[in-house]
Amino acid sequence: MHQVILGFLVEKGICTEEEVHERAQQIQLNSGGLIDKSDGVVVQGDVMLMRWIMIFEGKVVEDRMKETLAYEVGCAGLPCDQDLIGMKVGELRVLTCVFEPGFRHKHLVGKEVEMHIQCVGVKVKAANKGSLGVSG
């Protein structure tokens, strides 16, 4: 059995609607319109290419260190969003995040979760190229 989410035909039970939304955002962020930021320092509105491990009570809940995900800093997708500002390419930060209702791991809502986040790249939208020290 299949269902249509955001125009994608998805087999029921394979993934959630939230996961399809995340993947669609990744496709959008990774498909043109972004250029490398030459200084490699994250500011509000940049697209940070990142990897992470999420840990709760000493156990790994989610390990995304082998894949690179694009995240627009300042979009409030992460509760520790502002702690990403100032990160540099190659930097790893350990942050404590408390997730809001609606987070995909429902058992973690309202609890402190340790996020090990590595910045592997910084991009800007082509429209912002002017004064942000970009190459490309």
Across the range 61-75, mean pLDDT stands at 87
State yes or no: pLDDT of 133 exceeds 50: no
What are the Cα distances from residue 61, in Å, to 77, 84, 92, 93, 115? 18, 20, 18, 17, 10
State yes or no: pLDDT of 136 exceeds 90: no
Cα–Cα distance for residue pair 124/27, rounded to 1 Å: 16
* Tokens 């502002």 sit on residue: 82
State yes or no: pLDDT of 116 exceeds 50: yes
Q: How confident is the model at residue 130 (pLDDT cuts 50, 70, 90)?
A: very low
> What does pLDDT average to over the chain?
80
State yes or no: pLDDT of 2 exceeds 60: no
Where do the domains of the chain lie, and which CATH numbers do they carry?
1-31 (no CATH), 35-126 (3.10.50.40)
Across the range 11-26, mean pLDDT stands at 68
* Tokens 């992470």 sit on residue: 52
